[in-house]
Amino acid sequence: MAHAVNVQRMSTMLLKTLRDDPADAETASHKLLVRAGYVRRTAAGIWSWLPLGKRVLDNVSRIVREEMDAIGAQEVLLPALLPREAYETSGRWDEYGDLLFRLKDRKGADYLLGPTHEEIFTLTVKDQCTSYKDLPVIVYQIQTKYRDEARPRSGVLRGREFQMKDSYSFDVTDEGLAESYRLHRDAYTRIFERLGLDYRIVSAVSGAMGGSASEEFLAPAAAGEDTFVDCPACDYAANTEAVTFAAPSAGDGAAHGPVEELDTPDTPTIETLAVHLGVSASATLKNLLVKVDGEIVAVGVPGDREVDLGKLGEHLAPATVELVTAEDFTDRPDLVRGYVGPQGMAGKAFRYIADPRVAPGTAWITGANKADTHARNVVCGRDFEVDEYLDVVVVEPGDPCPACGAGITLDRAIEIGHIFQLGRKYADAFELDVLGQQGKPVRVTMGSYGIGVSRAVAALAEQTHDGAGLCWPREVAPADVHIVAAGKAVQNELALELAERLGGAGVRVLVDDRAGVSPGVKFTDAELIGVPSILVVGRGAANGVVELKDRRTGEREELAIDEAVARLTA
């Protein structure tokens, strides 16, 4: 029997559900997408999309495509296998480090698998556009990307091969770029609304850099690897990587007595020191030694705060930051491990970077640069100088909101999209100019915008699942209705008839017509797979009665077959 295109029969589908979670799975989306037969692991961070998964992925892509087309963006498809030269020109062949998949062809020429495509899009536009009249232009693709992620955990949430929508805008003026950025921001808002994701738009650049030149779309979820700052009192929201706090005001240096040494045996850590002296950790100054491009640097922060090595690395990039090792102390007798202080040392023995809380005039208890000895009344600006202030501490709940001062909260989230005003970085590298209105060449300004299409599937699974399984919003679900044939051959036949009827009317149907599978197993699988409506064709069907269940609310209703069809086609 030929059947309607909208009907998928489980009896013949490439689908095997699993009772148990995969051994290595930690997140709900990873467990459920595998167990419900949407994806299968092929290698670490590399996933195969099976029929149900492919449908969801395609639905996400379709929504993205529709909204990108609606802002006048043009779809293209560029290669994923790329020559080294372009990435050499931008500097990213090296900058990417281990994240980049590099390979050679048979002649020994270098290639890479594209992690993102700024270079190739810039070259494409350089090739196609010559005059200001050709701009503005927005170009996008939905394509496979490659990144050799250090920790490809969490299933398709962080793959080494994944699907991304990436788009790039090209404008002649800064105002033009701001407009292209705004168009993307609005399109992303519509996309994530339609996907049914709960999301927040947060600032992804530090306040110090100013403006809204880069924002992230974050989907709050416990499984997320990003942390963002949220202010309960105002609309401030930012990725913790981007938060900068105003420097606290200076203290009164003159109010403190002279430096005094303290005998503090066996107190190499802040905790042991604070207990020994009976002071709070915040009264002490912690000096973390790191190597910046091989040179020893001390980072001073209040003893109750942690240094965020990621932030420090970003501030100091492209220099590399490493923690010091025991060997680094062998030829440095002036550095007494566990008892380092900046007094008399900063600027001489090491460069001294400090958190703004270590403000001029503030007094501290810190190492005395002697074994088993600390010093008190060590005053910033009097007893030591700070070479450079950087915001380097780990953000904590209750820290003052940079916008209004109220205590902030911290939440976990998944980065699902990122919009970024690049400016002229790539246009400069590739000398992308067009002929301007005045007949002179004008340098083009660019934006770059990404959506994690495959990651969005996992983010949705994270946000919408329940104890029984997946629970898709209708627009992305692999089907509109899951018909369960619960009974004998006659129920199966009725179920298939109903499937054809609904499919013919444009309803996307998944029908469980598997022979020899108990109704109980079929119900469990229906809950696991997570199609929004479940239609049970059971004993009553012979008398024209079926049961319609809402997967999300669990509400169930007995209905006449015609009534059920009417509901599902409405």
Residue 213 or 494: the one with the smaller Cβ distance to Mg ion is 213
Under 8 Å between Cβ of 142 and 165: yes
Structure tokens at 559: 């209905």
Task: Please report the beta strands in 303-408, taking only residues with DSSP state E, as ranges in sequence order.
Answer: 321-323, 351-354, 363-370, 373-379, 388-389
Q: Residue 275 has which token pair? A: 């207990």
Q: Out of 92, 158, 286, 551, point to the residue binding ligand ATP (CB under 6 A).
A: 158
Q: Which of ligand ATP, Mg ion, none has residue 452 at its interface (CB below 5 to 8 Å by kind)?
A: ligand ATP
Residue among 98 and 557 whose Cβ is closer to Mg ion: 98
Reference 262, options 364, 382, 380; nearest CA is 364
* One residue of 136, 417, 503, 538 binding ligand ATP per CB under 6 A: 417
Q: Can residue 147 be called a binding residue for ligand ATP (CB under 6 A)?
A: yes
Q: What is the DSSP string of 435-495?
A: E-TTSSEEE-EEEEEEEEHHHHHHHHHHHH-BTTB----TTTSS-SEEEEE-SSHHHHHHH
Spacing of C-alpha 567 from chain mean position:
39
Q: Which is nearer to ligand ATP, 302 or 417 (CB)?
A: 417
What is the DSSP-derived secondary structure letter of residue 346?
B
Q: Number of residues interacting with ligand ATP: please give it, by CB under 6 A.
A: 15
Q: Which amino acid is at 370?
A: K
- Paired tokens of 128: 């196609």
Q: At its nearest, how many Å lie between Mg ion and the CB of residue 154?
A: 16
With CB under 5 to 8 Å by kind, the binding choice for 463 among Mg ion, ligand ATP, none is none
Q: 418 or 455, CB closer to Mg ion?
A: 418
Packing angle, helices 453-464 and 51-70, rounded to 10: 110
Per CB under 6 A, does 159 bind ligand ATP?
yes
The number of beta carbons lying within 10 Å of the beta carbon of residue 80 is 17
Choose between 242 and 358: whose C-beta lies nearer to Mg ion: 242
Q: Rounded to the nearest 10 degrees, what angle do helices 174-195 and 51-70 cross at?
A: 140
Binding of Mg ion by 418 (CB under 5 A): yes
**Binding status of residue 426 toward ligand ATP by CB under 6 A:** no
Q: Give yes or no for residue 538 binding ligand ATP (CB under 6 A).
A: no
Question: Is-contact 25 32, C-beta < 8 A?
Answer: no
x/- mask, ligand ATP, residues 83-122, rule CB under 6 A, reads: ---------------------------------x------
The contacts of residue 96 (CB under 8 Å, 6+ apart) are: 87, 115
Tell me which stretch binds ligand ATP (CB under 6 A): 22-30, 300-308, 388-396, 409-417: 409-417
450 binds ligand ATP (CB under 6 A): yes
Q: Does 158 bind Mg ion (CB under 5 A)?
A: no
Name the nearest CA neighbour of 351 among 311, 303, 384: 384
Partner that binds at residue 376, options Mg ion, ligand ATP, none, CB closer than 5 to 8 Å by kind: none
Is residue 164 near ligand ATP by the rule CB under 6 A? yes
Stretch that binds Mg ion, among 29-37, 166-174, 324-332, 413-421 (CB under 5 A): 413-421
Of the pair 184, 418, the CB lying nearest Mg ion is at: 418
Tell me whether residue 145 or residue 418 sits nearer to Mg ion (CB atom): 418
List of E strands, 7-89: 7-9, 39-43, 46-49, 74-75, 81-83
DSSP-derived letter for residue 399 is P
Which of Mg ion, ligand ATP, none binds 532 (CB below 5-8 Å, type-dependent)? Answer: none
Query: Quick one: which H or E segment has residue 320?
Result: none
> CB under 5 A: which stretch of 356-364, 382-390, 410-418, 487-495 binds Mg ion?
410-418
Length reported for the chain: 570
Contacts to Mg ion by CB under 5 A: 418
Binding site for ligand ATP (CB under 6 A): 116, 147, 149, 158-159, 162, 164, 415-418, 450, 452, 454-455
